Amino acid sequence: MAGDRDHDRGTRFGLRPDGWRYLGGLGRGIRNWPAGLYLEQNSDFELCARHVVDRRLVFDVSRFEHSRAVAVPRDDDATGGGATDQSAPRRSRLQRTIEPHTMWPLFALAFCYLTASVRSDLAQYTVYKGFPAAWQECGEYFEVPNCTLEQYREDSYPCEGAVKELIRCSLINLSAWNDTTGVRQHVIRNYFQPAAEDSCYENRTKECLKQIDSNDDVYNRAYESFRCYYRQYGNLISSAQFSPYESDELVQLTAYSFSVRHIPKCVLLQYAKGDILEEPHFPAVLLTWLLRGGYYSLQNGILLNTLYTQFGHPELLTEQTKQCTDAVVAQLCDESHATKAYQIFKRCLHHIVPILELIQAVAKELVKECDRPCGHCQQDLRQFAPVTAPPVYNVYFREH
């Protein structure tokens, strides 16, 4: 699992809008200046834009999807019924709205926009994967030809030994199966779409799962669990879904957050004792943990569905929890993300998701390995500095 996740870290799952993949300069980032420019932006971009752009530029803040510039076709402007000079070069609405002396702010806007676009698409440590991708990867592991994989799919995954191996592998690949505890229902449900008029799919699926022999081998149990969802829950979809972390990965994620925030031993000792929630370093640690884990974004805030996929607690999907998080965000709209994430966790989530327990457990292990005085748990890399001065790289000099 860890190997798959490392393989997938660098190539994310297609959320970056087409045409923005290479941001080498403004000319490459903004292609084909449109006659009408409407901006669909996040809060960071809105704040920046208000400082550099004339208010006559139109903003659409009703959506909070990925930032992008949308070209909007426009009809000829009404001129009160008078004739227009066809010989004169046509000026676009953008040119008419933003005069030459305001073009520099436009380029400043574009630069800020590109920066915001890059920030909104950071993959962090998360993996999103669809069932077809997991199926294809497992086909490579077992050296099954692509044509055979496709035939299995067209035959609705027949009850054969090779198919059972591939199904179990695919579910493990998606973190949807454990040989001891069985199928992870809060994970596998993301890969199936029930019909809108079907109100009994959950009960049918549960009844189907109850019929599986718990003494059967892992391949049959994984295959039969998949078949219950395949036949009873809904249509198998191909879109990529959040792949939850295994327990060892959650430990690594927590230790990484400690390292990034440079948490000293004295604070780790507090965490090891369970004194976490009110400790001053905790909001920064929490934000790092949530962002890198994919449970929070600077554009959309806390992601309750992702937390549910990770921890499987039904209360995360209740209307009460949603109202609680929304109320915190509304109250703290001008605060930092660290403050908002911390208050959301403190007021709405700390009794639902076991983040405090995880932090305490990891802190206990870390303090066992570190016997230095308080404040010196982090190894001082300066002691490894070479005696002779190294060559200087990546230093650019201004040409005269």
Question: Quick one: pLDDT at residue 389?
Answer: 59
Is the pLDDT confidence value at 71 over 60?
no
3-class SS string, 60-100: ECCCCCCCEEEECCCCCCCCCCCCCCCCCCCCCHHHHHCCH
Is the pLDDT confidence value at 21 over 60?
no
pLDDT in tens, 338-350: 999 999 999 999 9
Question: Quick one: pLDDT at residue 122?
Answer: 72
User: What does the pLDDT average to over 317-332?
Assistant: 97
User: What does the pLDDT average to over 165-182?
Assistant: 98
Residue predicted with more confidence, 237 or 6: 237
Question: Quick one: pLDDT at residue 16?
Answer: 35
CB 67 within 8 A of CB 117: yes
Asked: is 128-242 a CATH 3.40.50.300 domain? The reply is no
What's the mean per-residue pLDDT of the chain? 75
Task: List Cβ neighbours of 314 (8 Å cut-off, separation of 6 or more).
Answer: 308
Question: Quick one: pLDDT at residue 31?
Answer: 31
Question: Quick one: pLDDT at residue 134?
Answer: 98
Question: Quick one: pLDDT at residue 388?
Answer: 57
Of the candidate ranges 123-132, 260-269, 319-328, the one whose mean pLDDT is the lowest: 123-132
CB 195 within 8 A of CB 173: no
Q: What is the dihedral of CA 121, 73, 111, 117, to 10 degrees?
A: -10
Residue predicted with more confidence, 3 or 162: 162
User: What does the pLDDT average to over 249-261?
Assistant: 97
Question: Quick one: pLDDT at residue 109?
Answer: 42
pTM of the full predicted structure? Answer: 0.65
Question: Quick one: pLDDT at residue 392?
Answer: 66
User: In a 3-state reduction of DSSP, which class is residue 182?
Assistant: strand
Domain with CATH 1.10.238.20 in the chain: 128-242, 247-367
pLDDT in tens, 126-173: 999 999 999 999 999 999 999 999 999 999 999 999 999 999 999 999
pLDDT in tens, 268-308: 999 999 999 999 999 999 999 999 999 999 999 999 999 99
Of the candidate ranges 112-116, 242-246, 295-299, the one whose mean pLDDT is the lowest: 112-116
Question: Quick one: pLDDT at residue 124?
Answer: 78
Question: Quick one: pLDDT at residue 79?
Answer: 40
Question: Quick one: pLDDT at residue 390?
Answer: 63
Question: Quick one: pLDDT at residue 247?
Answer: 94
* C-alpha to C-alpha distance for 41 and 4, rounded to whole angstroms: 33
Asked: is 247-367 a CATH 3.30.310.160 domain? The reply is no
* C-alpha to C-alpha distance for 241 and 62, rounded to whole angstroms: 25
Percent of the chain predicted with pLDDT > 90: 60
